[in-house]
A = this chain, B = another copy of it.
């Protein structure tokens, strides 16, 4: 849950400089930070690599000239390939993570724009001769539609979050639906798509009631299609991991490399072998673990996107447009991170 200062700055609350959550830690602290680091998850591999180094060193001490010396050559050959390949994997993972963040940025754009457009383009464009009562009742209807459209956008962003995290959205989205819609919700298979269809229904009604021109309705339609793209693209990232064979190949090569490395270093390094082996293992396994973490950016681990914070922010922004009296609180950071 990255996105420090997110709730604050997206929702526009001004924070004094000293409240900034993540100060840059100094170099010394950096060394011993664990939260946000990948060290905890790869500690076993690092320790094991170090142990291998120690064993090789011991074996060489007690049985000199018995331990096979692989020399550095094969490790140089393999190391370059492994590095280039790790680099490729990292770029691919990072791009997925960044694309996911862009998609949620697009979600913010679209929901804000729909809320704005609902206020701009929905007004009574119907018949000329009308009684005052009729006029008033149509005004009320327009407000209901504007409100409904805005609420459906909010509901969509919650539904999308739950869909991507595999949790049940029904409690979070119920308040944005009518009673009838809530009942239908039970049988619905794909809830975010259900919200888009409801939005479509609203458009159809305001068009038929002449509350919006056909040309201006295109503005709303374009944003709804864009929400549909956000939805499908998030599903794509969530459902289609990198080809599994990449992980296999990388994992296997990294393991074999790091665990046999002492055999290439012990003659020149002697007692330093375990340390250096552990250091190199740290780099390789660290990069590998990071790549794997960023691959699916919609979870709830330390580097995943702050979906809860962002959908809460959308809710606040959109309710504000409707001049609601009670706004929910922005989500507070849990030390360095936002959920």
Contact = CB atoms under 8 A, between A and B. Distances in A.
B290 A249 contact: yes
A221 B219 contact: yes
A336 B241 CA distance: 12
Contacts of A71: 268-269
A316 B190 CA distance: 10
A108 interface: yes
Contacts of A246: 290
Contacts of A132: none
Interface string A177-204: 0000000000011110100110011011
Nearest to A37: B248
B189 A13 contact: yes
Interface residues of A, number: 137
Q: How many copies does the complex hold?
A: 5
A310 B73 CA distance: 47
Contacts of A201: 119-120
Nearest to A123: B208
Interface in A203-231: 203-204, 207-208, 213-219, 221, 223-225, 228-229, 231
A283 B79 contact: no
A92 to B, nearest CB: 7
A176 interface: no
A325 interface: no
A294 to B, nearest CB: 6
Interface in A71-129: 71-88, 90-92, 94, 97, 101-102, 105-106, 108-109, 112-113, 116-117, 119-121, 123
Interface stretch (A137-145, A148-156, A271-279): A271-279
A335 interface: no
A116 B201 CA distance: 9
A222 B163 CA distance: 28
In this complex, the member of A22, A231, A305 whose beta carbon has the largest number of chain B beta carbons within 10 angstroms is A231
Contact of A236 (B87, B102, B163, B276): B102
Interface in A251-301: 251-253, 255-256, 264-265, 268-272, 276, 279-280, 282-284, 286-287, 290, 293-294
Contacts of A283: 78, 81-82, 85, 249, 253
Contacts of A4: 239, 241
Nearest to A44: B27
Nearest to A225: B113
A339 B253 CA distance: 29
A87 B235 CA distance: 28
Contact of A244 (B36, B215, B236): B36
B217 A317 contact: no
A-B pairs, top 8 by smallest CB distance, nearest first, are A12-B190, A12-B189, A120-B200, A105-B236, A214-B215, A72-B73, A71-B268, A120-B204
10 contacts: A11-B189, A15-B166, A22-B244, A27-B251, A70-B269, A97-B243, A113-B228, A120-B200, A216-B217, A223-B225
Given A12-B191, A116-B196, 6 more contacts: A10-B239, A73-B268, A101-B240, A112-B193, A117-B221, A215-B217
